Amino acid sequence: MAFLSGLGRFLWGGPLPAAFLVIGLWYTFGSGFFQIFGLSVWLKTTVGSLFRKRECKEGAGAVTQFQALATALGATVGTGSIAGVAAAIFYGGPGAVFWMWVSAFLGMMTGCAEKILAVRHREKGEDGKWRGGPMQYMEKGLRLPWLAKVFAAVCVAESLVGGGLVQANSIAAALHETAGSGKLLVGVIVAVVTVLVLAGGIRRIGRLSEALTPAMALLFVGGGTLVIASHWQAVPGAFAQIFQYAFDVRAAAGGYGMWLALRYGVARGVFTNEAGLGMSAIAHACADVEEPAEQGMWGIFEVFFATLVVCTVTALVILTSGVYDPAAAIAMIQSGSVPPEMVGAPLTAAGFATLFGETGEWLVSVCLILFAFTSILGAGYYGRRGLETLTSSRWVMAAYHLLFPACIVLGAVGNVSAVWELVDVFNGLLAIPNLPALLLLSPEALHLLRDWVERRKAKT
């Protein structure tokens, strides 16, 4: 595991965060800062459309645009939004939040491009259902089928490790700590439910995500907003800390500084919205939409909500509630004795407990369980799509259908702390082929965006 740990630190310690920022800047400048100047367009296309009832066409092999978003958000807004943000603040300092915002702001256009290309190059399978994502736009757009297979192989591996093992472990640990539930029983139940949902394909996943994702997001964001409001006097100080540490280049050795904040902020920002990793584009490719750029608007909203809303709430809960102190955290890190309650979900739960008491810890646990479960569903679907790119063998697919629930049970009962390092590596390996593909296909993506916006203006 030392090799994997070193590889993960190398990938996320410099090259990959820089690449994410560069691609985000490329699309931001290329689109004329569309996430700002096109604000009314993407908000009306996404949030505005929620007030218009629209059903998916029967037999279309697709899901509604909101179901595609809910599926992608359900897989994206996972434990990283609760535990990942807390870890970024503890190890990278309050300034990590600022760089998380920067990565999300630029990632809004990266996410937009992914969804545009996913719909543009999607195709219908033998079952009549849409299939798209990085595999398709690498194969059809770049005409590099070998690169598509590389991405697909990593996608399958990441679905088993990051989806099955890690997320199931989070669910079992949360239920064991709060309700005393047996981890094996939890693993078996989650595995059975997951198999039943995945058997219904993208439509069943979409319907369940449509119900769960808004509920869990409102529960967490609503509860977090109340905590922040109860500590409103500390809000200005929290923002002062964020900006102070984000640009502090005079940090003492071992303390917080700009580069540490940038490293953790960008890396965790990517983990919370997946813009540039490409996997969420697989869900968006199934949307019942004709215009690729229209689905790109949902990609912008996805990154905006996942990071600039959910993760900001988590960060402000931690920074305003008094459960975290930068000086004390630095001392713990330097001494090498970091108590478990100061890292990850327990730190977020402690912030909620300052207002809700023990109920706050339960609230965070429930959100963590729901986030992790929807992440499992998304990972299972992405893994199946990746495997279909690699082989048409029914035996191989049947083996995956057995292996994925087995990983869920194994993750529930096992100690997978070391597996998180493998997840970091797989996420990095997903980005390595996807980011160059987005750069090479940027003329097409930006043309589709501009053309759609111009035609939309002409109609109005």
Alpha carbons 112 and 419: distance in angstroms, whole number? 30
Cβ-contact 242, 94 below 8 angstroms: yes
pLDDT for 50: 67
- Residue 62 pLDDT level (bands cut at 50, 70, 90): low
Helix 442-459, helix 292-303: angle, nearest 10: 100
pLDDT for 444: 96
pLDDT for 264: 79
> Residue 130 is inside which H or E element, if any?
strand 130-131
Cα three-residue angle 365-71-351, rounded to 5 degrees: 25
Residue 459 lies in a domain: no
Is the pLDDT at 58 greater than 50? The verdict is: no
Alpha carbons 304 and 318: distance in angstroms, whole number? 20
Cβ-contact 163, 383 below 8 angstroms: yes
Alpha carbons 104 and 99: distance in angstroms, whole number? 8
* Percent of the chain residues topping a pLDDT of 90: 35
Alpha carbons 110 and 435: distance in angstroms, whole number? 9
Cα three-residue angle 391-395-398, rounded to 5 degrees: 100
- Residue 393 pLDDT level (bands cut at 50, 70, 90): confident
Is the pLDDT at 54 greater than 70? The verdict is: no
Residue tagged 């929290």 (tokens): 238
Q: Give the count of beta carbons closer than 10 Å to the beta carbon of residue 451.
A: 13
Alpha carbons 155 and 319: distance in angstroms, whole number? 35
pLDDT for 252: 47
Provide the CATH number for the domain around residue 345: 1.20.1740.10
Residue tagged 């002062």 (tokens): 240
Higher-pLDDT residue of 70, 314: 314
Higher-pLDDT residue of 48, 436: 436
Average pLDDT over residues 215-221: 87
Residue 29 lies in a domain: no
Q: pLDDT tens, 129-155?
A: 788 899 999 999 999 999 999 999 999
> Residue 106 is inside which H or E element, if any?
helix 95-120
Residue 44 lies in a domain: no
Alpha helix positions (H), 180-287: 183-199, 201-230, 235-246, 258-273, 280-284
Residue 204 lies in a domain: yes
| DSSP assignment letter at 63 | B
Alpha carbons 227 and 367: distance in angstroms, whole number? 15
Name the nearest CA neighbour of 278 among 425, 133, 442, 100. 133
Alpha carbons 426 and 8: distance in angstroms, whole number? 9
Residue tagged 């970024």 (tokens): 88
pLDDT for 125: 76
Higher-pLDDT residue of 302, 65: 302
Average pLDDT over residues 31-51: 88
Task: Name the domain count of the chain.
Answer: 1
Residue 168 lies in a domain: yes
Residue 18 lies in a domain: no
Query: Residue 262: phi, psi to the nearest 5?
Result: -65, -45
DSSP 363-426: HHHHHHHHHHHHHHHHHHHHHHHHHHHH---HHHHHHHHHHHHHHHHHHHHS--TTHHHHHHHH
Alpha carbons 30 and 53: distance in angstroms, whole number? 34
* Percent of the chain residues topping a pLDDT of 70: 90
pLDDT for 292: 94
Residues 6+ apart with CB under 8 A from 228: 235, 313, 316, 317, 320
Residues 6+ apart with CB under 8 A from 47: 301
Q: What is the mean pLDDT of the chain?
A: 84
Name the nearest CA neighbour of 68 among 247, 288, 252, 221. 288
Helix 145-158, helix 358-390: angle, nearest 10: 150
Average pLDDT over residues 263-269: 79
Is the pLDDT at 416 greater than 70? The verdict is: no
Residues 6+ apart with CB under 8 A from 80: 268, 271, 272
Average pLDDT over residues 423-431: 85
Provide the domain limits for residue 408: 63-334+341-452
Rg (C-alpha) for the chain, rounded Å, is 21
Residue 3 lies in a domain: no
Residue 261 lies in a domain: yes
